[in-house]
Chains A and B, each alone.
Chain A
Amino acid sequence: MKRQTTEKNIKDYKDDYPRWQPYMKSTYKILIPDMLPWHFALIERLLKLEGYDVELLRNETRSVIDEGLKHVHNDTCFPCLCTVGQYIDALKSGKYDVNHTAVIMSQSGGGCRASNYIPLIRKALRAEFPQVPVLSLNFSGLEKDSSFPVGAKLMLKLVFAVYYGDTIMWCYNQTKPYEVKEGEADKARDKAIELVISKFEKGGYRKYKKITRAITEMFSAVERSGEKKVRVGIVGEIYVKYSSLANNHLEDFLMSEGCEPVVPALMDYVLYCVVNNINDGRLYGKKSLFITANKVVYSILRRMQKNIIKIFKKQGVFEPIHDFEHLRRCADKVLNQGVKMGEGWLIPAEMAALAETGTENIVCTQPFGCLPNHIAGKGAIRTLKNLYQNVNIVAVDYDPSATKVNQENRIKLMLATARENLAAGK
């Protein structure tokens, strides 16, 4: 069934680019984009402990967006634009020795444009900082000459960091809107981060049950009022969902509106990527060592997740993080798990799971013109409404020129309905 192809020459149209060399570890600074403020802060500290000179970028001025607009194609998605803008703005700031600076970006290798961020960043940097190497953080064997080296041990540490980041974010969001004494939740968060870092530093970071328990206790110690607030889930494209630069500080906005933001865990996305590889085997009968390895990884991660959920339940203060198997079942109600590009089936799965766990108000965030989101985001809302009568979803596009007024006005409409539902006790 494969079409015959004769031996062909290969014409090279690739421009040269600087590669990351192992020796650079000691002399180069690596810039991390501000994608996941919670997790990346942890990972930043973690990588420093590993001997990398990393820095999480926090620049958010208008010039970030302007640099992005200048350096990437008009129709490229917003996350890419933000990231490129952040890099270039930072490199131009004079704070860094541009001859000894590299940048890093994650790469999933899926069928969505996001897998092309690395070449796009490279292209953007070429105009002004051709000497800056671009590192890819991926687990699919892409960009072999520019991958960030992740050994088994570091991988394990990253997994723990993601779980801890999730737990901290999850507890914080359930504490902050209700704190009686202002600033207590933030104190608890800082304490939790210090705890996690100290474990990475001094060892003992693998005792995740103990650490998780400690984190939840730190937050549950914060005095919280018992008032009922509107809970609003945030789902969508991974970058826009988490990054306040991209989503105009959506979490803060929701809190200022007296709501409790519910932001699903990052580990769900990691598991989603792993499961997609397994699904390729299940759906299309593919067999490979890679798929088997993913199955192993999945079972390990799942076991940890189950234990973490158990801790949440036992402690009984906070709503536990989502159970990934539950998410998968939720997805099946809406669409096939074969929809695996971008955030694919994870988006409707999260929306359904939120609806089933008492968060019926949802902001579905997406970069303007995001292809997978046409299907898994906007396209799935009708099905979700049929499944969950009271679900109250607003799809919001994010874009360099979409204004905050416009976005907030739409969110406010959703909130008006949410408040009415809350008052009616629905």
Chain B
Amino acid sequence: MRQKTFVAAGQKTAGTMAKLMGIDVGSTTVKVTVVEQDGTVLYKSYERHFAQVRETVLRELNKIKEQFGGDFCASITGSAGLGLSQRSGINFVQEVQAAFVAIRRFYPDADAAVELGGEDAKIIFVTGGTEQRMNGSCAGGTGAFIDQMATLLNISVQEMDEYALRAEKIYPIASRCGVFAKSDIQPLINQGATKEDISASIFQAVVDQTVSGLAQGRRIKGKVLFLGGPLYFLKGLRQAFVRTLRLSEENAVFPEDAPCFMSIGAALHSAGVHPMNIEEICDRIEKAEGNDEVVTGEPLFRDKEEYAAFVKRHRATDLTFADIATYEGDAYLGIDSGSTTTKLILITPDCRILYSHYQSNNGQPVDIIVEKLKEIYKISAGRITIKGSAVTGYGEDLIKAAIKADFGIVETVAHFKAALHFNPDVDFIIDIGGQDIKCFKIKNKAIDSIMLNEACSSGCGSFIQTFARAMGMEIDKFSQLGLFAPHPVELGSRCTVFMNSAVKQAQKEGSSVEDISAGLSISIVKNAIYKVIRAASADELGDNIVVQGGTFLNDAVLRAFERETGKNVIRPGIAGLMGAFGAALYAKEMSGGASTTIGLDKLEGFSYKANAIVCRGCTSKCNVNIITFADGSRFISGNKCERGAGQKPASAELDIYSYKQERLPQVIEGVKGTKGRVGLPLQLGMYEQLPIWAGFFESLGFEVVLSDKSSRELYFRGQHTVASDTACYPAKLMHGHIESLLDKGVDFIFLPCESYNLDEHDSVNHYNCPIVAYYPELLKANNERLNEENFIMPYIDLNMWDNTVKKLCAALKKYNIKKKAADAALKEGFARFNKYHADVRAKGAEIIKKAREQGKQIIILAGRPYHVDNEINHGINKLLTSLKLAVLSEDAVFDEADLVNVNVLNQWTYHARLYRAAEYACRNKDMNLVQLVSFGCGLDAITTDEVRSIMEKNGKLYTQIKIDEINNLGVVKIRLRSMLAAIEEEKKASAESK
């Protein structure tokens, strides 16, 4: 791989003074530098270590031994260097500290330095209050993140850089964590966005992450140094930094030594260290073998015999083949256009495989399918008639449009159909693909519950792939290595970022590649069982388990799964093709005899053109991709509503979210106040209480100014003041709302702190969540534009009327508000508040009535008041109406429900509403509940299980949607469609049983 060795003049000069040596052991590379006492750099090297830390260091040291010999004052630095230092007894210096030493020595006039490493990101502020910051444990935006993204795009990092330089457009991508970014990038790929633009967007995401996640309110300005490998090698990334930080040419410094900067610092730091002969240093490193601090488990297979028996057992469930070159007759085509891979299968009516294909889609699913289809037509030479075709997966719509397939089928249903073929008694299906984990429980021959991985617990197949590459090998070989590993490493079972550092730790402790490979397979299985399914014990999974998905073709993963569940499972030989197979079965089932599938003649002239535009249909401004096929037909994607696709949007008539969005701002009457202008940030609790405060301030003679509508742009405006990047998205958006109000020049912003919400007499206590309750404190502490004068945040408890009035008067002392006036104003506020809620409830009742007249299913989209925000719910309400459903909210119905006694301590107002809304949904046959959960919401860890248990106790399906800044409705759509399919199945089943 990359290797740069510079050798300066004057080798082998046996100086009297010992030379200085710095060894920087990072997560992916080893850097070794030799420096004279006066700071002259004599030698530097930069090597990837592929987890062979000790060996790589030793190799480098031997080079130095040959070249220089003699004594050295040596220090080790770097995130993976700590263990090596401890065991070898060689001095350790923390890497940021090392950088600091080097900065002072070589760039005394620098104001700040940004360093990106393999898995760390750091900012050092030199002037204006020295400060050193590192990324937290859940932060992407690092070299590993870029590597991961390159893998996803199936290009090298270098190519990605070249692409980025030619970009025309930047898409918003979440960079907090690789998993999130993937969810943003995948749809872009599927929609045909160019690699150029995606590459540049990834770099921009890294920059945004550094600026917001690390700087946290402190501006990076003055002369800035850029350090570390990625910033040295990637020009596109450099450009993005310089552009974002608005640095002039002389203020953006990219040192020639950037990749080795830390090791130079470590060398300089060694000046006071006791010198050692190079022989001794080598000797110490040599002996610094790992100890047993790493927790390890049992080997996957004891011996070859055990493995052979295992292989034999699974071979029994392979499908038989038919020879496409000789077969004559009908066939059915199934296509699964997945997130990273494209699968295609052609079967005979008796389910023999004529042709199958499984390929990483390289972001170009259409090309692959067209090519394979041509191949099929050519081999079969007219002997085969495609009687039906069906498409499933992320790319369903696109592919269906491209090849004029007969049917589209929801992924989950396709998988179920395929599993049924292998075991008619199947009661549990788990599918681990490249990007996602899907599990379904089957009851009464229908999908009973669906579990998909949340954005955070991915760590699926593509994770092993990324890792295999980081170790410099192909995935097959890498996972094969794990089969007989004697001591698989315990790697934990959370998200990939954590697993990365667990692997780092294992490497540090000297675990072998074999053990790490086995450990990764085991952790993926644990992730699936304990994170996604959340099974307390393996018995919950049922007795007839079918496992599928490309990841299960990996024997190590399969074995780990059987071991963890203690059950023998069925893994069909076509585990990776089950979605496509299910689609083919569906096509067979539904086929009316003739297929619309594109023929060979049309395929020959097939071509398409992708074009990205911004839809101006509404304020959402979706990035829409228009793919125009050669025959003139078009496929549009990226749009949140039908408008982007050039269709008339589904009526908002049966959507209470649209109603609330419209109704809420109407509580402001628009009085031109004489007292001044008060800004109300429409986010978090204000979504509930806006009527109160609008009424209050307007009747006191203030003009009420509302913050700008939530949007990604608004979020970026306030991003630099976000103190904790793992808080929920609504909270982080609040920062943008504050900025927008400050920019509007209001006299003051009003946002009360409320430990207690209004008591609705249905719970033990009536708290707000800590974020809603105290976020004003955080805003004030982290936005330097806020002060006592322009930010008023009294502590009030609205259940205590007199005290509230008193507190409000005190908070508004400057405006000299009389108690009597405040009392009346608060009454007016509550009048508007009650009117608003009465209207919402009335609208709810009206929707129910109309939906029933029209025979539509009703979905209670239950969350918090602020989930009505379109930037937070990403237009899920519109998605639901486009699926021909009526949409209610929790606050429109909970009042109608009974009180509920739940297992958990029911002590938050908004949550109590959720339980009651669930109770209400259970009472009505035509209603279902979908719970919206903000990522990072700790309280919902409690409510989701409880709402689920209420639903399930009543025999209802529970569906949960986690939302964040990620704007990927594709996944949500699959989820909702699966739910609808399950509801349909249920209806059918109950109709049949009658």
Q: Is B646 an interface residue (CB 8 A)?
A: no
Residues of B within 8 A of A412 (CB): 82, 94
Are B723 and A9 neighbours in the complex by a CB distance under 8 Å?
A: no
Residues of B within 8 A of A14 (CB): 901-903
Looking at the complex, which of B275-283, B500-508, B673-681, B704-712 is the stretch in contact with chain A? B500-508
Q: Which residues of B contact A341 (CB under 8 A)?
A: 755, 767, 770, 773-774
CA A147 – CA B452 in complex, angstroms?
38
Q: How far is the CB of B171 from chain A (nearest CB, A)?
A: 28
A209 interfacial contact with B, CB 8 Å: no
Mask: chain A, 340-366; 1 = CB below 8 Å from B; 0 = not? 111000000000000000000000000
Determine which of A1, A9, A74, A404 lies in contact with B801 in the assembled complex, contact meaning CB atoms within 8 Å: A1
A76 part of interface (Cβ distance < 8 Å): yes
A391-422 CB contact bits vs B (8 Å, 1 = yes)?
Answer: 00001010111111111111011011100000
Nearest-neighbour CB distance to chain B for A399, whole angstroms, equals 7
- State whether A336 touches B773 (Cβ < 8 A): no
**B6 touches A (CB below 8 Å):** no
Give, as a whole number of angstroms, the nearest-CB distance from B373 to chain A. 42
Contact at A5–B796, with CB atoms within 8 Å?
no
Interface-facing stretch out of B591-599, B777-785, B850-858: B777-785
Check if A57 is an interface residue, CB within 8 A of chain B.
Answer: no
Instruction: Give chain B interface residues in 486-540, CB to chain A under 8 Å.
Output: 490, 492-494, 498-499, 501-502, 504-505, 508, 526, 530-531, 534-537
Closest-CB distance, B197 to chain A (whole angstroms): 33
A337 to B, closest residue via Cβ: B795
Residues in A whose Cβ lies below 8 Å from that of B770: 111-112, 341-342, 371-372, 374-375
Whether A375 and B778, one on each chain, are in contact in the complex, defined by CB atoms closer than 8 angstroms, is: yes
CB under 8 Å from chain B, chain A span 52-70: 62, 69-70
A95 at interface, CB cutoff 8 A: no
Contact A410 B134 (CB under 8 A): yes
CA–CA, A124 and B945, complex, Å: 12
Residues B945 and A73 in contact, CB atoms below 8 Å apart: yes
Q: Does A120 contact B (CB under 8 A)?
A: yes
Contact A339 B774 (CB under 8 A): yes
Near B by CB (< 8 A), chain A positions 73-120 give: 73-77, 109, 111-113, 115-116, 118-120
Question: Provided the pairs A3-B834, A374-B724, A403-B504 are in contact, do residues A111 and B903 lie with their beta carbons within 8 angstroms?
Answer: no
Contact B723 A378 (CB under 8 A): yes
**A128 proximal to B (CB < 8 A):** yes
Check B330 for interface membership: any CB of A closer than 8 A: no
Whether B900 lies near A127 (C-beta < 8 A) is no
Complex interface residues of chain A between 364 and 388 (CB less than 8 A to chain B): 368-376, 378-383, 385
| Selected interface stretch from A24-32, A154-162, A282-290, A297-305 | A282-290
Stretch touching chain A among B237-245, B418-426, B662-670, B933-941 = B933-941
A283 CA to B799 CA in the complex, in Å? 13
Cβ of B716 within 8 Å of any chain A Cβ, yes or no, is no
A-side interface residues, number (CB < 8 Å): 85
Q: Is the CB of A119 within 8 A of B903?
A: yes
Q: Which residues of A contact B726 (CB under 8 A)?
A: 368-369, 374
| Minimum distance in angstroms from B408 CB to a CB of chain A | 32
- Contact mask for chain B residues 938-961; partner A; CB cutoff 8 A; 1 contact, 0 none: 111110111001100100000000
- Docked Cα-Cα span, A11 to B949, in Å, equals 13
Chain B residues within 8 Å of A372, by CB: 770, 774
Of A128, A283, A372, the most chain B CB neighbours within 10 A belong to A283
Verify B953–A13 contact, CB threshold 8 A.
yes
User: In the complex, what residue of chain B is closest to A62 when comparing beta carbons?
Assistant: B295
Q: Are B508 and A405 in contact (CB under 8 A)?
A: yes
**B904/A11 in contact, CB under 8 A:** no
**CB within 8 Å of A: which B69-106 residues:** 79-80, 82-83, 93-97
Judge if A202 is at the interface, Cβ distance under 8 Å.
no
Q: Tell whether A152 is near chain B: CB-to-CB under 8 Å.
A: no
Contacts of B134 in A (CB 8 A): 409-410, 413
Tell me if A227 counts as interface (CB < 8 A to partner B).
no
Q: At the interface, yes or no: A123 with Cβ under 8 Å from chain B?
A: yes
Contact: B800 with A123, CB < 8 Å?
no
Which residues from 892 to 932 on chain B have a C-beta closer than 8 Å to any C-beta of chain A?
A: 895, 898-905, 907-908, 915, 919
Residues in chain B near residue A8, CB distance under 8 A = 762, 898-899
Nearest A residue to B726, CB-CB: A369
A405-B903 in contact (CB<8A): no
- Contact status B97-A379, CB under 8 Å: no
Asked whether A2 is an interface residue with its Cβ less than 8 Å from the other chain, the reply is yes
- Which B869-910 residues have C-beta < 8 A from chain A? 895, 898-905, 907-908
B908 CB contact (under 8 Å) in A15, A75, A111, A368: A111
A10 close to B834 (CB less than 8 A): no
A119 and B490 alpha carbons, distance in the complex (Å): 30
Bound together, the chains give a CA A115 to CA B765 distance in angstroms of: 11
Cα–Cα distance between A71 and B953 once the two chains are bound (Å):
20
Whether A404 pairs with B505 at a CB distance below 8 angstroms is yes
Say yes or no: A379-B782 contact (C-beta < 8 A), given A14-B901, A403-B501. yes
Within 8 A of B (CB), among A276-318: 280, 283-286
Bound CA span A372–B724, Å: 11
Query: Nearest B residue to A124 by beta-carbon distance?
Result: B536
- The reply to whether A118 and B905 contact each other, CB–CB distance below 8 Å, is yes
Bound: A282/B45 CA distance, A: 65
B806 contacts A by Cβ under 8 Å: yes
| CB <8 Å contact, B900 and A75 | no
B155 within 8 A of partner (CB): no
* Chain A residues positioned under 8 Å from B499 (CB to CB): 401
- By beta carbon, the residue of chain B nearest A7 is B899
Is residue B758 within 8 Å, beta carbon to beta carbon, of the partner chain?
A: yes
Please give me the residue from chain B that is nearest to A395 by CB atom. Answer: B136
Separation of A2 and B830 alpha carbons in the complex (Å): 9
CB–CB B79/A409 < 8 A: yes
| Least CB separation from A371: chain B residue | B770
Task: Give residues of chain B (634-655) contacting chain A, Cβ–Cβ below 8 Å.
Answer: none
Chain B stretch 442-501: residues in CB contact (< 8 A) with chain A: 457, 490, 492-494, 498-499, 501
- Asked whether B132 lies within 8 Å of A338 as measured between CB atoms, the reply is no
Q: Are B755 and A2 in contact (CB-based, < 8 A)?
A: no
B981 interface residue per 8 A CB criterion: no
Q: What's the nearest-Cβ distance from chain B to residue A333, in Å?
A: 12
Mask, B973-990, CB within 8 Å of A = 1, is 000000000000000000
Kindly state whether residue A39 has any CB partner on chain B within 8 Å: no
A120-141 CB contacts (< 8 Å) to partner B: 120, 122-124, 127-128
CB–CB A1/B901 < 8 A: no
Taking a contact as CB atoms under 8 Å apart, the answer to whether A142 and B781 are in contact is: no
Q: Are A73 and B217 touching (Cβ within 8 A)?
A: no
**Min CB gap A42→B, angstroms:** 29
Q: Does A182 contact B (CB under 8 A)?
A: no
- Pairwise interchain contact A378-B504, C-beta atoms closer than 8 A: no
Verify if A335 is at the interface (C-beta below 8 Å from B).
yes
For the complex formed, measure the closest distance between the CB of A72 and the CB atoms of chain B, giving whole angstroms: 8
CB contact between A368 and one of B138, B768, B895 (< 8 Å): that residue: B138
Write out the residue numbers on chain B whose beta carbons fall within 8 Å of the beta carbon of A385: 129
Question: Which single member of B79, B492, B764, B940 contacts A400 (CB below 8 Å)?
Answer: B492
Q: Is the CB of B900 within 8 A of A402?
A: no
B-chain residues with CB within 8 Å of residue A379 when the two chains form the complex? 723-724, 777-778, 781-782
18 A-B contacts, Cβ less than 8 Å apart? A1-B801, A1-B830, A3-B834, A10-B900, A10-B901, A12-B901, A116-B942, A335-B781, A336-B753, A341-B770, A369-B938, A379-B777, A383-B781, A400-B492, A403-B505, A409-B134, A413-B97, A415-B94
- On B, residues with C-beta under 8 Å from A are 79-80, 82-83, 93-97, 129-130, 132, 134, 136-138, 216-217, 295, 457, 490, 492-494, 498-499, 501-502, 504-505, 508, 526, 530-531, 534-537, 723-724, 726-727, 731, 753, 755-756, 758-762, 764-765, 767-771, 773-775, 777-778, 781-782, 795-803, 806, 830, 834, 837, 895, 898-905, 907-908, 915, 919, 936-942, 944-946, 949-950, 953
14 more A-B residue pairs beyond the given contacts A109-B765, A399-B498, with a C-beta to C-beta distance below 8 A: A1-B799, A3-B758, A74-B494, A111-B907, A284-B756, A284-B795, A285-B800, A286-B800, A372-B770, A374-B724, A380-B781, A397-B138, A400-B492, A405-B82
